[in-house]
Amino acid sequence: MKKIEEKLSALGYGCWGVSGPSFWDGTTDEDSIKTIQRAISGGINVFDVAPVYGLGHAEEVLGKAIKGLRDKIFIATKCGLLWDDQGRTRNCLKPESIRKEIENSLRRLGTDHVDLYQLHWPDPEVEIEETMETMVQLKKEGKIRYIGLSNFSIAEAKRAMKVGEVSSMQGLYNLLERNPKSYHNIPLDYRVEKEVLPFVLENGMAFLPYSPLFQGLLAGAISDKKKFSEHDVRAANPKLNSP
């Protein structure tokens, strides 16, 4: 990957599942920390998280797990999804919001920089060029090292690349969802196999698939009798809860 000059493990650790029992059934912070540390000892060094996972909690758990191990791992987190007191989320990629988000993420993670900072979802009310200018400035300040896009179309990626270097793209991708049109009923403006993979290869970028195990389905952890609690984030995935 020409645009990320790091030795990264082929397998990464997705941290939505360490959001805590209030967001992911059957988890505890203690088990999550042990699992993260075991992954590091096993050679995994890429950890993908986001502020919205557990409404800040996943970043805090990851931060606790990597104390004394920061130089061994590559942290990828995100910005662009805010939440209110009721946990309702909204898209926001305004410059002032991104600056506030990066400071909160650094505090929760217990670090002075993020390796890969990704725009989580497009914000239809903010031009991508304006957002990228802020990301480029954060890179110059040393708060982030690489810039990535998650859930963005190829057209949007090309616009972003005119402002600053984009090192990675992220999208929904697994054996059962190779060119999905939606995620949790949210329309997707990209097709991974048809568009994104050829694009990242052509431009020397990294590709980070999210939900590679279909939120546990492809790991054999979910049967047709599985019932998620109301607060489990997977309860909102219609593909896992069809009649």
Catalytic residue selected from 53, 117, 173, 190: 53
173 catalytic? Reply is no
CA–CA dist 226, 110 (Å, integer): 36
* H or E segment to which residue 114 belongs: strand 114-119
Predicted TM-score (pTM) of this structure: 0.93
pLDDT by residue for the chain (243 residues), tens digit each? Answer: 568 888 999 999 999 989 887 776 778 999 999 999 999 999 999 999 999 999 999 999 999 999 999 999 999 999 999 999 988 999 999 999 999 999 999 999 999 999 999 999 999 999 999 999 999 999 999 999 999 999 999 999 999 999 999 999 999 999 999 999 999 889 999 999 999 999 999 999 999 999 998 887 788 877 666 777 667 767 777 777 765
Strand partners, 187: 182
DSSP 149-191: EES--HHHHHHHHTTS---EEEEE-BTTBSS-SEETTEE-S--
Integer Rg of the chain from CA: 17
Domains of the chain: 12-236 (3.20.20.100)
Looking at residue 11, what DSSP letter applies?
S
User: Cα separation of 193 and 38, whole Å?
Assistant: 32
